[in-house]
């Protein structure tokens, strides 16, 4: 598919133009979530897209494609910071257990074992805490904290762990840390 411009309404006003690399069935459903906010808020089905839960519009959240094709959407704000988590299965949204800590501006990454690691973000300040979603049991478990509080950062699986890079805490961060998966 390639880079596609996506116009996303924000809770603060005008539409923000974003570019995303979207591939695969799960990503297509996620694109429907991002590009169809007007239809989503009205609770209508989009032509060729997924029906979206109209009761939980959000921004500053994550959407992670799982190994089985489902998409986990969690956290964000509207305008309060959310602990809400939902799974998109085909074209049906289903609520799952909430995050242990409400958060927005966090990062989420699919781990090699199929679980999802959620790191940092904002909630009453910038967070170090992390948690793991198990798609089999659809439950959240606490995980060891980051070394540095971060929000607006990235998380990328690498050999030996997860590279946590950039973000902000008392200004823009110019560092990175490798988050160990040992003991998760």
pLDDT digits 0-9 by tens, 100-109: 999 999 999 9
Please say if the pLDDT value at position 37 is more than 60. no
Confidence band (pLDDT; 50, 70, 90) for 88? very high
Distances (CA, A) of 64 to 22, 31, 86, 111, 122: 12, 12, 11, 11, 19
CATH 3.40.220.10 fits 3-179, yes or no: no
What single-letter DSSP state applies at residue 29? H
Contacts for 5 with CB less than 8 Å, ≥ 6 apart: 17, 18, 19
Q: How many CA atoms lie within 13 A of 112 on its CB side?
A: 10
In the chain, DSSP finds a helix count (H) and a strand count (E) of: 2, 15
The helix/strand/coil state of 31 is helix
Q: Indicate if the pLDDT at residue 167 is higher than 80.
A: yes
* H runs (alpha helix) in the chain: 24-35, 37-42
Determine the distance from the C-alpha atom of residue 91 to the mean position of all C-alpha atoms in its chain, rounded to a whole number.
Answer: 18
Q: What is residue 51's predicted lDDT score, i.e. its pLDDT?
A: 52
For the chain, domain boundaries: 3-179
């Amino acid at each position: 598919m390639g880079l596609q411009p996506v116009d996303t309404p924000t809770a603060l006003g005008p539409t923000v133009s974003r570019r995303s690399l979207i591939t695969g069935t799960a990503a297509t459903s996620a694109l429907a979530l991002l590009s169809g906010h007007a239809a989503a808020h009205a609770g209508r089905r989009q032509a060729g897209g997924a029906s979206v839960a109209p009761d939980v519009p959000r921004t500053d959240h994550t959407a992670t494609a799982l190994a089985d094709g489902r998409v986990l959407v969690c956290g964000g704000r509207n305008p309060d910071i959310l602990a809400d988590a939902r799974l998109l299965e085909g074209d049906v949204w289903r609520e799952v257990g909430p995050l242990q800590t409400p958060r927005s501006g966090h990062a989420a990454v699919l781990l090699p074992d199929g679980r999802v690691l959620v790191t940092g973000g904002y909630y009453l300040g910038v967070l170090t805490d992390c948690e793991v979603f198990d798609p089999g049991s659809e439950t959240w478990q606490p995980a060891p904290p980051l070394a540095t509080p971060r929000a607006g950062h990235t998380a990328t699986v690498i050999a030996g762990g997860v590279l946590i890079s950039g973000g902000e805490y008392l200004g823009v961060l110019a560092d990175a840390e490798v988050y160990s998966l040992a003991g998760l």
